[in-house]
Structure 1
Amino acid sequence: MRSGRSPGTTPGGDTDGGPGADEVAESAARAIGDVPSGSRRSGLLAWMRRLTVLAVVAVAAGQVVRHWPAVSATVHSLPWGHVLISLVVMTAGVLLGPLVWRATLAAMGTRVRVPEAATIYLVGQLGKYVPGSVVAVLLQMELARSVGISRARALTASLLTAGVAVVTSLLAGLLAVPALAGSRPVLLWLFALLPVGLALLHPTALTYFVDRVLGLLRQHPLPQRLVGGAIARASALSLLGYLLYGVHLFVLVATLPAAGSTDPALLLVLCVGTMGVAMTAGLVAFVLPSGIGAREVVVVAALAAVLPYGQALALAVVSRVLFTVVELVSAGAATLAARVATRHRAPA
């Protein structure tokens, strides 16, 4: 384990404004291809991303129109009470996100209060609705900077959170392997990421990997090895979030008569696994705004094992709408709560 601090760190454990510190946001964006360099190639890539998004949206809209009678009937048949329960369960899962981000930050020895973590994470996450970008990460870096956390440290926390999310979502997704193997076996390649992800969750391996990334961004390495307990806590919270997402889908599916012939326990297992793989697909398809299209393909493919295609498509659309509403409202609520807390602290 490392000891002491590397040059360029503040007493709080964050990197200071040394060479390259103020440019880490631009460096990160360029490393992932989000900031155009002015070349013809970067312009072409930008247009390809836009065309990809338009194509996915067009295909999705076409599917909804094609199966509109079944989609419309399914949406209208959903009891509002169950939709509300599903919304509450999903909200609980979304609100675990800031706690995961906060835990990954704590793994580096940096502490932040829950309201601040909620504002940074939830507001920053709205950036994922921008096509093919890392705007969510960049927003989180700037929001974190406003509360005294260095951009490099915030970037590391966001990348760690994404990595933990991929691993835990795939763990939950294992429950849907039987259904996907019969309908969309091509999606099973996602699980090739799982062994690598599990190995990287070890603090020593994860610290080494993070240091290499920071080196590419011209930043100092971490002053000490990542705290294993904090990484484990982040992983547990993330896994709980995916379990809640599965429950959210189960509440909707269980209301449909076509699902009545399936054992409720098996149906719950299928829904948890479905949301796990769906969220992984959304994370991998970062070119698409919030993984739109990729997530729905998985949901429809898995639920088609117990529901007619039109009904599975309707639930995928309803789930997407609920997620969008919850993320927008939670980001606004986090911002409002942070402002109220700031005003209360001002007199003191």
Structure 2
Amino acid sequence: MTEGRKNWWKPAIKWTLVVLVLWFVFVRVRELLGRDEFQASEFELQPLWLLPAAGLYLVGWLPSVWFWRRLIDQSGGNVSWFHATRAYYCGHLGKYVPGKAMALVIRAALLKSHGCRPAIAALTGTCETLLLMLAGGLTAVALSPILARGLDTSTWPEAARWAVRHALVPAGLVVLGSAIVLPVLARLLSVLTRKLTPEELRQDSTVRITTGLLASGLVGFVVCWFIQGLAVGCLLRSAGAEVTLDQWPVWTGAAALATAGGFFALFAPGGVGVRELLLIETLRIQPEIGPAEAVAAAILMRLVWLVTEIIAAGGLYWSDRETASPVTPSGPQTPSDS
């Protein structure tokens, strides 16, 4: 019996989980659409707001490009801003391939002729993605009291109600705790990066992450998530929600939670289903956002982000296609892109 036949159950389980998640999202959306408050809402798409949403989405990943390039430089590579940006955005399309390793393969292939060995590109790409999603999770936790303000907290423990009333305190504790564990986190991230990068990509290379670089990366990624939050605000405005800039932390927390949650659902290509469900459930409980706007924003996020990624990746790839290296798929699964 061949190796492929022995492991047929792995993709079967993955796709079964994807189908179940999509079915659950469909049922949940149908339930929300049937509610009285949805029926009473007047949904009117304002497409002009999709343009700043798409622009902010692209700009929001530039801190990731900056950190990835710094990590490559520290690991012995020498990549220009343009080629790092080109490889990064082209790699975004790889997250839609089951297993999520294709993003690393694309990045490594596109940097092979531009000052970075494939092993270094893959290892640093894994590290960048892990830290980006860690920052997203920490951002969501720090902003969770603000996200929970639309919930009925009367039955919650007093400590939880106090945290909701004093939202800055939990955020400060997250920042303080992150600063304290930075040295340990730097070593842990180095180990995880090597373990989660496919063996044929990493070869004998290693990536050493200093505490200073880790700290600067976390700060950059928090900026990244706030820009992504602003993009979600534009999507909500496009969906007809009467949002104002003081709700920016809500959009940021929702974007970080949905994207990080979708990333860690390794069975779902591009976090499909999981990301939409988390975004809908986070936004719909907000006083200024109804279920209609939450559902519309989640659908628009998937469509606008995908179209934006295709256009950006296509434009950047063909702008330097003469030196492009061929992209070949890789088998093992690893976390890769947001």
TM-score of the two chains, using structure 2 as the length reference: 0.72
C-alpha separation in 2, matches of 1:174 and 1:311: 24
Is the 1:242–1:272 Cα contact (8 Å) retained in structure 2? yes
Contact 1:170–1:280, Cα closer than 8 Å, also in 2: yes
Counterparts of 2:79 and 2:29, CA distance in 1 = 43
Tell me which residue corresponds to 2:70.
Answer: 103
> What per-residue deviation string (whole Å, max 9, x for no partner) do you get for residues 153-209 of structure 1?
1221111011111221123213441335949x9xxxxxxx99799646754554455
How far off its partner does 1:61 sit?
3.9
Please list, as runs of the form range in 1=range in 2, the aligned pairs for 1:1-348 lying within 5 A after superposition: 37-40=3-6, 42-64=7-29, 77-178=44-145, 179-180=147-148, 182=151, 199=182, 203-207=186-190, 210=193, 219-220=203-204, 222=206, 225-254=208-237, 259=242, 264-265=245-246, 267-306=247-286, 307-339=289-321
Give the residue type in structure 2 aligned to 1:84. L
Deviations 1:56-105, CA, capped at 9 Å, x for gaps: 33333444455558889989613233222222212211444433322222
- Paired residues of 1:172 and 1:243 also in contact (CA < 8 A): no
SS in 2 for 1:77: coil
RMSD: 3.8
Shift in alpha-carbon separation, 1:66–1:84, aligned structure 2, 3 A: same
Find the aligned partners of 2:49 and 2:241 in 1 and give their Cα distance.
16
* Contact 1:78/1:252 (<8 A) preserved: no
Percent identity among equivalent residues? 20
Contact 2:280–2:298 (CA under 8 A) maintained in structure 1: yes
Return the letter of the residue paired with 2:261: A
- Count of residue correspondences: 295
Greater RCO, 1 or 2 (C-alpha within 8 Å, sep 6+):
2
Tell me, in whole angstroms, the C-alpha distance in 2 between the residues paired with 1:131 and 1:214. 15
Deviation readout 1:244-271 (Å, 9 max, x if unpaired) = 11011123335677656xx742x21111
> Structure 1 CA distance, aligned partners of 2:103 and 2:48?
33
Query: By how many angstroms is 1:210 displaced?
Result: 4.7
Q: Which runs of 5+ in 2 are unaligned?
A: 157-173, 325-338
Deviation at 1:317, TM superposition (A): 0.8
Cα 1:230–1:320, aligned 2, differ >3 Å: closer, same or farther? same
The 3 A distance-change label for structure 1 pair 214 and 64 is: closer
- Structure 1: any 5+ residue segments left out of the alignment? 1-35, 186-192, 343-348
* TM-score (ref. length: structure 1): 0.70
Query: 1:137-165 CA deviation, whole Å, 9 max, x = no partner?
Result: 22223333343532321221111011111
